[in-house]
Every structure is written in structure tokens, then in C-alpha cells.
Structure 1
């Protein structure tokens, strides 16, 4: 017997089941960074890359516990940004909401570009703009129909990623336990720590791996955005958040151990997917095509999630402006299907800029810079979420018997400090400097404009 779908006060539906949310959480944890980019990080730092993943995994877990605690106290909210508005004020909340939403639109664009690249692996003669229009149209349609359909799509997208990782881990364990002979030597667990050095290519390469892994984990907070439409929010929050660290250990650390056990890290190619390299050594000739399919579904999954998230964030922004404004009247609405349709359509329409980018290289260069800036802005957004959590703890909303963050007095300031260190480290990595400077300029200019806008609104509201 199916459980009845509950309708929220704003018209959205609690249609996402526990299995949907848990798989969305796993999908959010595993990105294309693991399938494609992990070879680059391993080649930079060797086995000590696992320490980088563990450290970042721990701090992302603390961040998720902070966000989860606020959602547990009020699961009716659609985005964690609403808590920033509540506890840090409308100026900071509006700045964060717009920043996060714009960042999401650019992530959507990047993922849409990626889907065309992966499809052209099989069909090189199909123009990229056609592939992009098809994927965007289908996934925007999925999001417009119902939250449950979105959840079902994410469930199967995540399942494909999990099957690929588990298949590689099982293959690797078999090869290592049977000491399979490859052109690179014997597959063995001893390969992982053979001639181990914490900084095999110097301290700089080790430190520069932290931002790379940080961006691989970016989007892990996405599962929290599903809470407002989950059937049993309190149960779902605890399970989804608590298993964050376990998933990182299993999927990332497990995969890294297997990769380095089969391929000595000094022999690993930084420019090719380590998954493809492992499967080819295992005698699987179609490895490249299979992993291409996995990363295609991974990019489609990220695009699907981005459209969902961007729609909810723009809807949230529309609810926070005066009711007589055009933005509120147009976008602060929920369709008969229980989704913020107008906000989803606007977000998807902006992503249509992507097919135009193939027309000139100048647009692509600008896009690369802006994507870098928006990625770096996520560090600031995450930090503001942690500060909002501290304000929540000092407020009357705090539930001492709720889903409290462990060792709060130590872990909260430590996480904020760690995010600050990650941001500062960007200035020491040549390719990240432009993005980091851009993030500061964006904060000062847009944050300043928002501050003066809110100051103008206060007297106007007092006159009413």
C-alpha cells in the first residue's frame, strides 16, 4: 500500500520517499571528479591523497550536520539559504540566495556542455547544440512534471554510478587477492604504500590537492534541498546526513585504494580516467565506452539536480521580496503539479545560453572564468551557512533534543576556519587566483549593492 502524498502549505508535495532521498544523497556525494579527475589528484600527491579526501570528508560531514540540525528544527524550508536569511538577516540572505542561484545556473551550463562532449564520443558528427537542447528539454520536463519523477530519475542515475564503483572495487579486490599480473607488475595492496611519502612531489602539490578535492565534493549539500519535499523529513534528514562520511569512505577511499593497488601510483596517467585504466588492465576492452556512459549519466544527474535546486532557490528568492512586486507575483507560485514551475522554467531558460557558447571561443573563455568565480563563491556560501547555524544555536529555535551537531563548540569554529584556509589557499595556486579575486569582488560589489537596497527598503516598510 502506497503512503499518501502530503501537500505542504505552499502547495509543494512531500512526494520524495526515503529511497529517493538516500540515493540523491549518494548521487550528490559522487561526481564526475571521482571518475575522471581522481587520476590528476593521485598523480599530484600519491597515496596521501586519501588523507586529503578524509580531511575534507570530515569537514563536509560537520557542515552537513549543521545544515541538517537547522532543517530538523524546521523541515518546511526548501533551501538552507532560508536559514541564512532568518538568522543573518535579509541582506546576507538575499546576497547568498542570488549568489547560490547564479552559481547553480553556471553549474547547469557546465554539466550541459559535458553531456554534449560525452555523447560525441559515440556520435562525433552530431552538433553539440542539438545534444544540449535535447538533454535540457527532457530534464527540465522531468522537473516540471512532479518532484517524484525527478526523484525517480535521480534514483536510477545514482544507481548507475554506484554499480560502476562497486564493479571496479570488486574487480580490484579480486585482482589484488589473486595477485594478478599486469603490464605494470603485480596487483597488490602493498602497491598503495610502497615507498610512501606524505609529500612525494612537494608540499605545494599536497596543499593544492585540497581545493581540487573540495570542488569534487561541491554539491554534497544538495540532499538538504529535498527535505522540504520528503515524506518523512525527520527520519530522512538523520539518515542522509549521518551516512555522508560513510559514503565518502566507501566510494572514494575504497576506489582510491583499489586504483593504487592495481596501478602503482607513479605509473598512473593523470590525463585519463583511472577507472578506464583499471578495467583495461582487467581485460575489459570496452572500458572506455562503459565509463563514458557512466560519466554521461553522472553529468545528466548533476544537470537534473541543478535544475531542481535552481528552481527551488529562485522560488525562495521570490517569496522574500514584497508581495506587490512583479518577481513575487510571477515566481512565488507553485503549479498544480506541486513544483515551482515558473522558477524552474526561468532557470532552465538561462541555461539555454550554453548552446550559443560554441559559436565563439571568446564566450567560452568568459564562461570558464565566471564558472571559476561561482565555484569559489560556494566556499563563502558554505561559511555563511555555518555562521547562520551558530546564530540558530543562540536563538529560541534551538532544539537541544533535536539532531544536534556533534562537539559543536569545537567542530563549528574549526569548520569555519578550515573553509577560510581553503579559500586563502586559492591565492597560491596560479589557475585559481582569478576565481578567488572574482569571488571577493563579487562579494564586495553585489553584497554592497544589496546592503544599500535593503536600507532603502526599511524606511519604505516603516512608512506602510
Structure 2
């Protein structure tokens, strides 16, 4: 297949994202506060065996991305992987998945916007949270409305800050471990990983519960597929982004985890504090807390930026799939002169304005937590559906025998689907995740049923006409 050199798509969107933009968007969307702040929690649950958890998850996420990459390689004009679910599993499943994924993105965006105000108040405690949220949201929406290239450049620099922080940690840790630096916790050494080693230090249940926690740390890696529709040379970038991005992410996660546990014996790590802050303080950096706060602030901003980009494309995709005479199609299936789905971006941002309203009262906090948890759990179902859609693609006339094929498909495809099912089942072993998992099931049954009935009524109406 020839490489695409088209600079503008048929719908008016522009192919302005380079390979470095796409790579950084994927890395930036995946490496976030889960590593900088939450890694203490996962390590405290499993100790050094957390490396095995990340390795297993990394393999299955790679396989999922290869499945998505194979479909995108056959048709790189699509703005979202959800379009393949609609194509191969039918409009009802596609519509359900599109709305589910879009709502999941908006709730994740709300969580990131809330985090941004918390991190900003580290330096400016007297500025109200709602004002910080409105200002940041306004800036990032403007970035997304100007052009995809501007979004790509913003993500590049946001992600670069995170990568520099991780590399600084790894370099600092290597120096401390090779020189056997003495800290209040003992000598820094890679031997700390094997001291008191146990595969299940806190029991099998703690080890199992680490899987969904680490799973959500990888959430967002599929953003790379959402950028392909606006990438300069999609066929080349699909291969590079899918094959290289996950490897880079694993290197960053593995490198950071090894260094953290080499400097701080894993038995001393607690969920209450950031391991990054602890390492830099032990290395003699007095401003460690302020530095990591800056990193997580840019990390949350990066994630919110990606969520706005992705939510806008998904809402646009939903609008294009509706009949042309429908109100939603007429208003949101449009591309602006700058080559972005501006109306779809604006409606997605409008929903995010719920966050500043929530910050004015604490009464709705519990409801928001339950809904956000349910939407997060829905991602597992979405990932499973895209894998099933890939199986249908393999049986269709669209299948490219000489394309970018998923390796060992006959074995790896059903294994990946089974793995996602197991991850969802593990949620019921974790008390704080049970409500979210039940909410995800309820959403699937209720909204899925409503979508099915709506689609049937549309088909009947068309048949009568």
C-alpha cells in the first residue's frame, strides 16, 4: 500500500500531525499522575512483583493496539477507533460505544480539571478552584480550536516535561545505586529489590487488585489511534507509533519503578506520599515537592488537552453517523476553516464546565465519584468491543492480507479478549471498585437497551417511508 501524502481529508480536517507529535500524544496520554503520585500505592501492594504486573499488562495493551493499528492501516481516514466498532458490529453497538466512550472521556476530563485546581492551589491557595478551572479550560479549548498542529505542539511540550522528570529520576537513581549512596533508609542498591522479596507479600488478593490499578495507568494509550486521521503520513506513523510507543512507556515505567525500589526499600513505600518526591528529597533536592507538583500540574493539563481533542473527534464522529436531517448532524458534523470539529469540541468543553459548578459544593462529590468510577470501568468493555470488531474485520472484504497485521492473531485475539474479561471480574474483588463495576454493567444494560430500541425505531421509520 502506498503511503498517504494527502494534506487535507475529504471532510476538511487537515493532516498536520507529525510522527513526534503522535508519539508524544500517546506517551503523554498514558504516563500521568498514576506514575508520579500513585505508584507508591501499587508498589506497596505487591512489592517488586509490580514489574510483572506492568509487563503482563504491557503485552496485552500492545496486542490491542496492534488490532486497532491493523484496522487503521486499512482505512487511515477514520478519526476514531470507535468507527470500526460501528462498521463491523453494527450501528447499535457503535452508537452505544461512541456515547459511552465520549461520556467516559468527559468524566476523565472533569477529574483532570479538578486535579489541576488542586495542584495550582499548592502555590496559590487563595485563588478559588472554580476560577482556576475556568481559566485552564478556556486556554486548552482555545488551543484545540486553533488547529490540530497547535494541539500537537502543546502535547509535545507537555509530554516532554514528564519525560524529563522521569529521566531525571532514573539518572539520579542510577548514580545513587552505583555509588551505594547512604540514605536514612540504608544504602541505595538494586539489591533492595530482592531484599525480603515475595511474589505475594500481602496475599494474592492484593496482587490481583494491583492489576486494575495498573490497567487504568495504561488507559489513554489508544489516543494514538485518534490522531492518525490527522497525521501527515498515516501508514508510516501507524507502524512506528504502535510498535514503539508501548515499548517506550514500559521503559519509563520499568526504569522509574526499579530506581524507586532501589533507593527506597519497597517495605518503606506508602500510598500517602509520592515516591518521586521521596527519591528527590533523599538525593538532596529540597524543592522536590514543588518540582513534582509542577510536573503533575503539566501532566494533568496534558491529559485534559488530550481528552478535549479526543472528545471533540468522538462527538463529531457520532454526529456524522446520524441522518443528515437530524439536529445533531446539522450542528455538529461540521469542520471549521482551521480544519477541526469546532462545534463538537465546544459542546464537549461545555459539559466540562460542570466541574467548576461541582467545586462550589461538596454535596455532589460522592455522586461524581461513583459516575466517574463507572465510566472508567466502561473502558474495559470498550476495549473488549474493539477487539471483537477486529475479529469481524478479519472476516470482511476490508481485510488486507499484506497489511499491518496483528501477530499470531488466532491465538492472541481471543486471549486478549479473555484478559479484558478477567480484569473486569477482578473489580469485584476490590471493595472500592464494586460500585463502579456494577454501575458499568447497569449502564451497559440500560443505555444499551435504549440505544437498541432507538435504532430499531429508526429502521422501522425508514421502512415505512
Instruction: Give the structure-2-normalised TM-score.
Output: 0.98
Secondary structure of 2:77's partner?
coil
Q: Deviations over 1:58-114 (max 9, x none)?
A: 111100000011000000000000000000000000000000001111011000000
Q: Counterparts of 1:319-330 in structure 2 under 5 Å?
A: 319-330=320-331
Confirm or deny: 8 A CA contact 1:5 1:15 kept in the other structure.
no
State yes or no: 1:245 paired with 2:249.
no
Q: Do structure 1's residue 117 and structure 2's residue 121 form an aligned pair?
A: no
Q: Distance in 1 between matches of 2:29 and 2:76?
A: 20
Show the counterpart of 2:57.
Answer: 56
The match for 1:259 is: 260
Contact 2:5 2:233 in 1 (8 A): no
User: Deviations for 1:157-206, whole angstroms, at most 9, x for unmatched residues?
Assistant: 00000000000000000000010000000000100111211000100000
Which sections of structure 2, spanning at least 5 residues, go unmatched? none
CA–CA distance in 1 between the matches of 2:364 and 2:180?
50
Hey, what does 2:366 align to over in structure 1?
365
Structure 1 residue ranges (4+ consecutive) displaced by more than 6 angstroms after TM superposition: none
- Counterpart-to-counterpart distance in 2, 1:449 and 1:270: 41
Q: Which residue of 2 aligns with 1:81?
A: 82
Q: Distance in 2 between matches of 1:393 and 1:430?
A: 39
Which range moved further: 86-95 or 424-433? Answer: 424-433
Deviation (angstroms), 1:359: 2.3
Aligned residue in 2 for 1:346: 347
Q: Secondary structure at the match of 2:123?
A: coil
Write the distance in 2 (CA, Å) between the matches of 1:97 and 1:25. Answer: 20
Partner of 2:143: 142
What displacement does 1:459 show?
A: 2.1
Partner of 2:436: 435
2:37 touches 2:275 (CA, 8 Å); kept in 1? Answer: yes
Q: Which residue of 2 aligns with 1:130?
A: 131
Aligned length: 462
| Distance (whole Å) between structure 2 residues aligned to residue 248 and residue 12 of structure 1 | 29
**Superposition pairs for residues 225-244 of structure 1, below 5 Å?**
225-244=226-245
Residue 465 of structure 2 is aligned to residue 454 of structure 1: no
Give the match for residue 169 of structure 2: 168
**Alpha-carbon deviation of 1:428?**
1.2
Runs of at least 5 residues in structure 1 that lack an aligned partner in the other structure: none
CA displacement at 1:360 relative to structure 2: 2.0
Q: Aligned residue for 1:303?
A: 304
What SS is found at the alignment partner of 1:460? Answer: helix
Residue equivalent to 2:40: 39
Deviation at 1:17, TM superposition (A): 1.0
Does structure 2 retain, via aligned residues, the 8 Å contact 1:35–1:273? Answer: yes
CA contact (8 A) 1:29 1:244 kept: no
Q: Is the 8 A contact 2:26 2:220 kept in 1?
A: no
Q: Secondary structure of 1:131's match? A: helix
Contact 2:317 2:333 in 1 (8 A): yes
Q: Give the RMSD, CA atoms, in angstroms.
A: 1.1
Give the corresponding residue for 2:159.
Answer: 158
Shift of 1:119: 0.3
What does residue 336 of structure 1 align with?
Answer: 337
Deviation, 1:285, is: 0.5
Write the distance in 2 (CA, Å) between the matches of 1:327 and 1:305: 23
Shift in alpha-carbon separation, 1:376–1:185, aligned structure 2, 3 A: same
* Cα offset, 1:5, TM superposition: 7.4
The aligned residue for residue 105 of structure 2 is 104
**1:389 aligns to what?**
390
Conserved 8 A contact 1:315-1:331: yes
The answer (yes or no) to whether the contact 2:130–2:360 under 8 Å persists in 1 is no
* Residues in 2 aligned to 1:338 and 1:114: alpha-carbon distance in whole angstroms: 30
Deviation at 1:249, TM superposition (A): 2.4
Bigger shift: residues 189-198 or 379-388: 189-198
Change in Cα spacing, 1:451 to 1:205, as seen in structure 2 (3 Å) is: same
For 2:68 and 2:107, locate their aligned partners in 1 and report how far apart those are by CA, in whole Å: 23
1:188 aligns with 2:205: no
1:95 aligns with 2:96: yes
Q: Are 1:213 and 2:214 an aligned pair? A: yes
Larger deviation, residues 64-73 vs 454-463: 454-463
Counterpart of 2:317 in structure 1 is 316
C-alpha distance in structure 2 between counterparts of 1:270 and 1:450, whole Å = 41
Deviation at 1:4, TM superposition (A): 8.7
Q: TM-score, normalised by structure 1?
A: 0.98
CA deviations over 1:203-246 (Å, ceiling 9, x no partner): 00000000100111111101110000000001111011001331
